[in-house]
Amino acid sequence: MSRIAVVQTPPVFLDRAATLAKAADAVAEAAKGGARVVVFPEAFVPGYPAWIWRLRPGGDMALTEKLHALLRANAVDLSRDDLAPLREAAKRHKVAVVCGVHERDADFGGGTLYNTVVVIGADGAILNRHRKLMPTNPERMVWGFGDASGLKTVDTPCGRVGVMICWESYMPLARYALYAQGIDVYVAPSYDSGGAGSRPCSTSRARPAAGSPGPAARCAPATSGLDAGQVRAVQEPRGVGESGTR
């Protein structure tokens, strides 16, 4: 049976380069354990903007602006090949990688960020880019709407993989679009620490699609929630020039 690994580690919050280095190390570890596909959580690079659920729209606006500036500076631009370290790790270890990122589309102004999941093949090529169709509640203050062009399945060492992000898995017609393409493994990356007060969609999952042939693939939850040090980083943000962006 092919093995799928779901990475359970937080990012280096709001630091794209350091997070990608950490992701590459995780890919190496997973491949050493026999994984053929490695899954990371929603918005793993450079971390989920948890402040949108906590900071006040008016009184905390200055802090929100600083955090958003850091987020934008560390977002992923695929046209710049910002994911090169992760692509190289996938190729080096001959595994496919599914990873959530904040995507900045420089081809159309560069001002809009998207909640994106990228599927990287075992040859290091980007096989698919799916942008979350409808950001959830306050997420719309950070991300634009996806256009559904990424609702497709792609071949990986573990079969045909399709991706939908967190609560968009509640959209039956979007799921059916993947089912109709012969999906084998349905991947649902999500943000959550999984603790008290967590939202219902609290894990990253890789599981067999309904009606698909072959054995079940059950994976443990993954999280891009914040640890204690990252909470302090949110409360005392760095300046944009100190973001660690390479």
pLDDT value for 110: 82
Who wins on pLDDT, 214 or 190? 190
Domains and CATH numbers, the chain: 3-227 (3.60.110.10)
pLDDT value for 216: 31
Q: What is the mean pLDDT of the segment spanning 168-185?
A: 95
Sheet holding 96-104, edge to edge: 3-6, 35-39, 96-104, 113-120, 126-131
Tell which phi-psi region holds residue 139, choosing left (phi > 0), alpha (psi between -120 and 50) or beta.
Answer: alpha
Angle separating helix axes 16-32 and 84-93, nearest 10 degrees:
10
pLDDT value for 219: 34
Who wins on pLDDT, 213 or 184? 184
Task: Answer for the pair 35, 5: CB distance below 8 angstroms, yes or no.
Answer: yes
Give the active site residue among 99, 166, 201, 219.
166
- Side-chain-side CA neighbours of 193 within 13 Å: the count stands at 11
Would you call 132 a catalytic residue per the annotation?
yes
- Side-chain-side CA neighbours of 148 within 13 Å: the count stands at 8
Position 70, amino acid: L
Give the active site residue among 22, 99, 132, 158.
132
CA gap 6, 20 in Å, rounded: 16
Label residue 211 by pLDDT band (50, 70, 90): very low
Nearest to 124 by CA among 185, 81, 178, 75: 81
pLDDT value for 57: 83
Output DSSP code: residue 133. S
CA gap 67, 233 in Å, rounded: 10
